[in-house]
Structure 1
């Protein structure tokens, strides 16, 4: 997947993403304003055509002022699900899966970044499942994760979003 962004005149961000969906045999373009649901289009393509389409997409985006975000502009967030013990129980695994699936989908549709897979790690003296995210808009990403969690049957108070330094 290729994701490119540009600043808008009002200080916000726009995004354009493209990828080849091999299973569907489609070249897919997703675009919009960061933090809002985007628009998606797809055209039938073979693997041999996808590379050329991706290069054309990259060239058009460059002409329109889209580029990969400067790493210094990205904000590292973590979606944290604290565990009750040293390893997740079956209910915790189910909850983490629900949170990850919902947050990943909600963030992606709004151009707010790709949520990484959950990893067990130590946080604040105990174990937690942590999902990292690099985003251009901290507030919108945090609000989107909260809304995504509310769409599940996981208690919203069990999940927190925190800012972590990159690197």
Structure 2
């Protein structure tokens, strides 16, 4: 098994995926990206976990995947704010579960909360901390946060802290 030291992760910020080509015989893919300094980089990978919007992913797939591209182009996307919080101390039981989603019929500004410390305690680095992820927006993004291009960065944080205090009694 490869370790992170054997195969370090490289992050290309502000880069554009230009194309994905699949090599069926090698069971791998070649991803072509363009970086901010106009360099072209090719990355060979056995697995691709895409965080591109579905319609953007459809544009970079090879022509022989047109059926998949058609399906991807039909997927509606919405905006979401994700706020990661960390508190001193273990404020939740280790077996508290994954978290929760708020039913859409509820009058809530959040979509849900993930109990990161419970799901991935190994990322606590041996510290007594509580980590949470609060999801805001989705279908109600503009109603809750306003225009996606002009959101005040403090507003999602305030909403997340209010929700954690309300639902989990963590201040």
TM-score by length of 1: 0.29
Structure richer in helix, relative to its length: 1
The higher relative CO (CA closer than 8 Å, separation ≥ 6) is in 1
Structure richer in strand, relative to its length: 1
TM-score by length of 2: 0.28
